[in-house]
Chain A
Amino acid sequence: SQQGEEDPQALSIQEGENATMNCSYKTSINNLQWYRQNSGRGLVHLILIRSNEREKHSGRLRVTLDTSKKSSSLLITASRAADTASYFCATDGGDYKLSFGAGTTVTVRA
């Protein structure tokens, strides 16, 4: 079942700007992951942050996790047109079953 909520639902930014999206969840987690989906195709894993981590970086991606608030954020810096996609957070309670958030649709304008 879904337990994540994401905001905003949609985000439109200019190329070069940063994009920030947030995710909240309800139950305890082992880790939280962010995925990207282009035009209804398969999901691409972006980054995973474990429950005992607070911040993680990967290239232009920065993820934070606040387990006390049951929330996470994904920051994409210096956005590109190729970053246009839907972004989903997903929580894993430790059994590899993922519970996905509603998703944020990001449009990067050239």
Chain B
Amino acid sequence: SAVISQKPSRDICQRGTSLTIQCQVDSQVTMMFWYRQQPGQSLTLIATANQGSEATYESGFVIDKFPISRPNLTFSTLTVSNMSPEDSSIYLCSVPSYRVGETQYFGPGTRLLVL
């Protein structure tokens, strides 16, 4: 199974600032995903981060607001730019397992509070 770590685990930020969240995987993976979970809500896919290409964003999410980097097969970052209180959420990265019976491993999440 893949072990995924995220940094920071939580942060409190002021509106208008930006925060970069890191996701590290202990094995090489082609695809990485970023999800957002707003308070009391379910998870919504933000984007897919593939190494060597631009991230692909889901409807409602744009690169200017959520720029993503994928410098190698074990690491990705998601930046939440020009934050507002509405960005307060848990941000999770995930990777496919490619193992029969299972498709995703999730990181522990980054809990963000924007004041």
Chain A residues proximal to chain B, CB less than 8 Å: 1-2, 4, 31, 33, 35, 40-45, 48, 88, 90, 92, 96-103
Within the complex, the shortest CB–CB distance from A110 to chain B, in Å, comes to: 25
Is there contact, CB below 8 Å, between A88 and B42? yes
Is there contact, CB below 8 Å, between A45 and B45? no
Within the complex, the shortest CB–CB distance from B38 to chain A, in Å, comes to: 11
Is there contact, CB below 8 Å, between B103 and A100? no
B 19-65 contacts with A by CB, 8 A:
31, 33, 35, 37, 41-45, 48, 58-60
Size of the B side of the interface (Cβ < 8 Å), in residues, is 27
From known contacts A42-B107, A42-B108, infer whether A96 and B31 are also in contact, taking CB-CB under 8 Å.
Answer: yes
Q: A4-B42, A96-B103 are in contact. List 13 more A-B contacts (CB 8 A).
A: A1-B44, A31-B103, A40-B90, A43-B43, A43-B104, A43-B106, A48-B102, A96-B31, A96-B33, A97-B33, A98-B35, A98-B43, A102-B41
6 contacts between A and B (CB under 8 A): A42-B108, A43-B104, A43-B106, A90-B43, A92-B103, A99-B45
Q: Which B-chain residue is minimally distant from A58 (CB atoms)?
A: B101
Is there contact, CB below 8 Å, between B108 and A100? no
A-B contact count (CB 8 A): 66
Interface residues of A: mostly helix, strand, loop or mixed?
strand
Q: Which A-chain residue is minimally distant from B43 (CB atoms)?
A: A100
Checking A2, A4, A31, A42 against B109 with a beta-carbon cut-off of 8 angstroms, the contacting residue is: A42
Q: Which residues of A contact B41 (CB under 8 A)?
A: 102
Q: How far is the CA of A87 from the CA of B105 in the complex (A)?
A: 16
Q: Which residues of B contact A102 (CB under 8 A)?
A: 41-42
Is there contact, CB below 8 Å, between A100 and B42? yes
Within the complex, the shortest CB–CB distance from A49 to chain B, in Å, comes to: 10
Q: Which A-chain residue is minimally distant from B109 (CB atoms)?
A: A42
Is there contact, CB below 8 Å, between B43 and A97? no
From known contacts A41-B109, A96-B96, A97-B33, infer whether A2 and B44 are also in contact, taking CB-CB under 8 Å.
Answer: yes
Answer yes or no: B111 CB below 8 A from chain A CBs. Answer: yes
Q: Which B-chain residue is minimally distant from A43 (CB atoms)?
A: B106
Is there contact, CB below 8 Å, between A43 and B92? yes
Is there contact, CB below 8 Å, between A1 and B104? no
